[in-house]
Structure 1
Amino acid sequence: MTHEALASSTTSDQSFTKYQTYKVKKEGRGNFYPLVFNDITGMEEGPGVRTDDIKLALKGHVKDGYKFNPSSPLSDGDHGYISSPTISDKVHVLVCIYSANASEMRSSVLQKMREIREAASDLRIPQLAILTHIDAVCGEIETNIKNVYRSKYLKRKMTDFSSRLGIPMNCILPVKNYSHEIQLNPDVDALILSALRLMIDFGDDYADTL
């Protein structure tokens, strides 16, 4: 378990992150797997992060650590702007994270997500979604995580999310969060690693087109 990505249990309805790159460390000192995660400010009601800035991030124009400014778009010449992005700067897979336990997505937020998805599609960037906190919405799953694909309630949640955002069902991956556990659980890991495998496969496909 790791806690590199900061989180807040008291402001879960507000963004807590900026554009931050995280590497996955191998066992041993100084070795990392050849993939990174770029964590981005969440979609919120109101100004929040600008969709144009996220589109720039997709193209690789946003520097690691840049803090998005809702009142001022990022542009060429700014400190956080990469004028000539490399293949490593560009986003290879767009992953939308959505909590199964969240209230219904507001229309303004949904519109932002659709617009970003359309931009990613124009760039031929593959997309998938991670549905989190699945155990919090279904007693069957809370009792036994292996019931994840037997839960009719969760299937309805995934179907609704798919129809609202346009992501195919087979590109929506349910996962259980490590929320209170202090030891790893192989059944929880299996879902997380399944989602990671699909991200890597999609990323490889995109890299082959560049």
Structure 2
Amino acid sequence: MLNGNISDFYEFNPATPICPENPGFVHQPKVKDKIHCVLFVIDAGTVGDIPPKLVEKMNSFQRIANRKGIPRAVLLTKVDLACKDVASNVINVFNSKKIEDAVDKVSGLLGLPRNNILPVKNYENEMQLDDNISILAFLALRQLLHFAEDYIGNLQERMNGRNVSTEKPHKLEKHSDKE
């Protein structure tokens, strides 16, 4: 999936692993077919209840993405249900100890930096749009786009033969004050 070998609308069959012989397998994926950012969606109220087997699957998926340089993030949903203060005013999400604890827990479980864990409130009972709820979603979306753009930029540089991570910095020449 990360390599872009699976076509859109591919029907997964849990009894049969994906292989090149499967119909719809993309043998030579283009950059547009590849994954540019991996996003996990986790309910803030159930962070402590994630089964260890699922955490291991997510970590396994992450290790592969990490080797490929693909950025990873978590959308931490339903923050209002995890904290009364956030439920009363969604602006409190960045000051909430409960949400901070949930972010720390996810960070620890998945080994991701805290700034890759993006809290959002789901629209559930609202009858109209609320700017504060929408802003959280837009902040998360903007961060995800930055992750994907950075990945694509690095990919383009590697494709152009300039691998940023292996390029040596230019040495600065020392000039004396007498010149």
TM-score of the aligned structures, taking structure 1 as reference length? 0.71
How do 1:24-103 and structure 2 match up within 5 A?
57-102=1-46
The one-letter code sitting in structure 2 at the alignment partner of 1:128 is: A
What is the RMSD computed on CA atoms of the aligned residues?
Answer: 1.0
- 2:147 partner letter: F
Moved over 3 A (4+): none
Structure in which a larger fraction of residues adopt helix:
2
Does 1 or 2 have the higher relative contact order (CA < 8 Å, sep 6+)?
2
- The aligned counterpart of 1:193 is 138
Alignment equivalent of 1:167, drawn from 112, 116, 126: 112
Alignment of 1:90-169 (within 5 A): 90-102=34-46, 104-169=49-114
Counting matched residue pairs gives 154
Structure 2 unpaired stretches of 5+: 156-179
Q: Which has the higher strand share?
A: 1
Give the whole-Å Cα distance in 2 for the aligned partners of 1:187 and 1:96: 23
Shift of 1:209: 1.9
Per-residue deviation at 1:77? 2.6
In structure 1, the gaps of 5 or more residues are 1-56
Q: CA–CA distance in 1 between the matches of 2:153 and 2:125?
A: 40
Cα pair 1:74 1:80 within 8 Å, conserved: no
Bigger radius of gyration, 1 or 2? 2
CA shift, 1:181, in A, is 2.0
Write the distance in 1 (CA, Å) between the matches of 2:148 and 2:98: 30
Query: Secondary structure of the residue that 2:76 maps to in structure 1?
Result: strand
Which TM-score applies when normalising by structure 2? 0.83
